[in-house]
Amino acid sequence: MSEPVKLTDASAYESFLDKYDTFLIDCDGVIWHGNNVLPNLREALSVLRKKGKKLLFVSNNSATSRKGYLKKFKKLNIEIHDGEVFGSAYASAYYIKNVLKFPKEKKVYVVGDVGIIEELESEGIRYAGANEDSNFDTSNWDYANIKQDPEVGAVLCGFDIHVNYLKYAKAFTYLNSNPECLFFLTNDDPTFPANGTVYPGGGAIAAPLITALGRNPDGIFGKPNKPMLDCIIQHLNLNPERTCMIGDRLDTDILFGTNGGLGTLFVLTGVNKEQDILAKDARIIPDYYMASLGDFSIL
Amino acid sequence: MSEPVKLTDASAYESFLDKYDTFLIDCDGVIWHGNNVLPNLREALSVLRKKGKKLLFVSNNSATSRKGYLKKFKKLNIEIHDGEVFGSAYASAYYIKNVLKFPKEKKVYVVGDVGIIEELESEGIRYAGANEDSNFDTSNWDYANIKQDPEVGAVLCGFDIHVNYLKYAKAFTYLNSNPECLFFLTNDDPTFPANGTVYPGGGAIAAPLITALGRNPDGIFGKPNKPMLDCIIQHLNLNPERTCMIGDRLDTDILFGTNGGLGTLFVLTGVNKEQDILAKDARIIPDYYMASLGDFSIL
């Protein structure tokens, strides 16, 4: 494994940028923290655009659809265009439709938020669950209310702030009663960053199903897993050698790039720190790293 | 490992019963299925009582307190006396109070149902969570609402039909922000039986915390784990050699007995079947087994 190259001045930035045509860019911890855009980020992205680079914003957050992301970019006054966002909810819908060729008469039971629903709708995939099961009235509860449903051909689980026992019991029953029902996660991040700390993420939300079923999912779409990258490469017809993943998390963003044969640029504005890649026992090493993506704004 | 002895007639029943003074008896799948008492069960328990045996009903179900169990036995017209029920909720409260000697000024944050609350109250342990966080209004949600609380000295998680993201986020935050905060599960059953099938159990409910924290609990009280047995033996001053665990689940009941040096009697009225103990690769073997505990009624 070779040493990561630290980018610290304009000439290093220029020769780095010359190596790639396309940049896959993580959002949280790289271009913003929550609703706060990082310093010089808008200007740095303009530099990349002026150099003719193709940009794709890649997020594991399944609670927001591409449409939702476009809104957020606009609200934060960051230049964005249709087709420049790829989240794990869209990756899931894209994969289920185009790779899995999910039967039209079947439906997907969703433990998740509006982002997943919007993306399944955009791909014309039938679904159940999500919002319709968010209000769980336990006052007349009877386990016999949960019926098997042969129309459910897959369970898709992502981050869900409205998660409840009804959703877990239904998803479990569909999977447990029908060995042909597929089990997918939008992503498996154990936590996600917010408010200067972390909270249970999509991988935590899915854990009760994995524990109760005693088996792993049939597919996990988000970083660092391969399906999302396969979707992106197929969708945008990318050359991996001329593509670089930019991110703040070693175990999702950088591993995703490394697993996919992309270049990798690690930035120090998020979850992981410089010591995490310089430690003797570091396992995930980026090709390049720099203090902040905003530093490209000096070019 | 010796072959299990199948009990099939009155003389085998008599010589088995002569070996033990105390019987720890699992409830669901042994004496009832849900609200249906198994055939001849009342009569079989009377036989044991007439022979002067001490009975203790031992359940992993943390949703019901000892008080709640007494009510259920009475409703189902099964003879029961104070002190004859020991559930994982009580084992948790007993352990936290008497073994851990939990500081009086600290409180336990509960992800769980009324059974846990009733048992913590009975032991005079301060608590938070449970019912008070069951109604989670996400309309004005802000992660910043979740504050660290230095008064929370432990998180106790059990089965919770009202589980929601607020409870997970709070429990996670208390544990993640304070390395001295202890993490306990009432039990870790991945599923529990109901309605002729199974549903996600207490172990599934706890899984998001384990996944998000990236660590195992500091203690798990219910069968097959040791703390519940330690509490029972200490509480009742039992001689393990003269005590027999009767249950329908190999991986909880029988393993619990085996781990604790008790005799074990496996009954075929529940989750596991005869082939599970006779298979060549069987790992958990009871000392004795019989068709149904109700068969003792012929004595």
CA atoms within 13 A on the CB side of B211: 26
Mean pLDDT of chain B: 95
User: Average pLDDT of A110-124?
Assistant: 97
Is A71 part of any domain?
no
Which residues lie closer than 8 Å to B278 by C-beta, 6 or more apart? none
Does residue A284 lie in a domain region? yes
pLDDT in tens, A141-199: 899 899 999 999 999 999 999 999 999 999 999 999 999 999 999 999 999 888 888 99
- Answer with the one of A201, A220, A239 that is the final residue of a domain: A220
Supply the range of the domain harboring residue A97.
Answer: 89-220
pLDDT at B196: 83
Cβ within 8 Å, pair B194-A143: yes
Over 60: is that where the pLDDT of A71 sits?
Answer: yes
pLDDT band at A1 (very low <50, low <70, confident <90, very high): low
| CB A13 within 8 Å of CB A19 | no
- Does residue A26 have an active-site annotation? yes
Q: Tell whether A248 is in a known binding site.
A: yes
Q: Residue A72 domain-assigned?
A: no
In a domain, A244, yes or no: yes
User: pLDDT per residue over B21-49, tens digit each?
Assistant: 999 999 999 999 988 999 999 999 999 99
Is the pLDDT confidence value at A234 over 90?
no
The yes-or-no verdict on residue A2 having pLDDT over 80 is no
CB atoms < 10 A from the CB of A29, how many?
Answer: 21
**B194 pLDDT tier (thresholds 50, 70, 90):** confident
User: Are B116 and B176 in a shared domain?
Assistant: yes
CA distance B208 to chain A (A): 4
- Domain-located, residue A70: no
In terms of domains, do A101 and A179 share one?
yes
With an 8 Å Cβ cutoff, are A208 and B210 in contact?
A: no
Hey, which bits of chain B come out as E strands?
5-6, 22-25, 32-33, 36-37, 54-59, 85-87, 107-111, 126-129, 152-157, 182-185, 191-194, 197-200, 219-220, 243-247, 263-267, 288-290
Q: Are residues A239 and A131 in the same domain?
A: no
Catalytic residue among B26, B188, B253, B295: B26
Residue contact A164–B163, C-beta within 8 A: yes
Residues A111, A211, single domain; the answer is yes
Closest CB to B212: pick one of A165, A177, A190: A190
- Structure-model confidence comparison of residues B34 and A19, the more confident one: A19
* Structure confidence by residue, pLDDT tens digits, B127-143: 999 999 999 988 888 99
Q: Is B208 exposed, middle or buried, given 0-12, 13-18 or 19+ CB atoms closer than 10 A?
A: buried
**pLDDT of the residue at B234:** 87
A199 shares its domain with A254: no
DSSP state of B253: I
**Is B28 known to be catalytic?**
yes
Residue for token pair 């979740």: B146
Given the cut 0.85, state whether the ipTM is greater than it: yes
Residue B77: inside a domain, yes or no? no
Domain assignment of residue A230, yes or no: yes
State both tokens at B66.
């000892």
Structurally, chain A folds into a number of domains equal to 2
Give yes or no: residues A127 and A232 share one domain. no
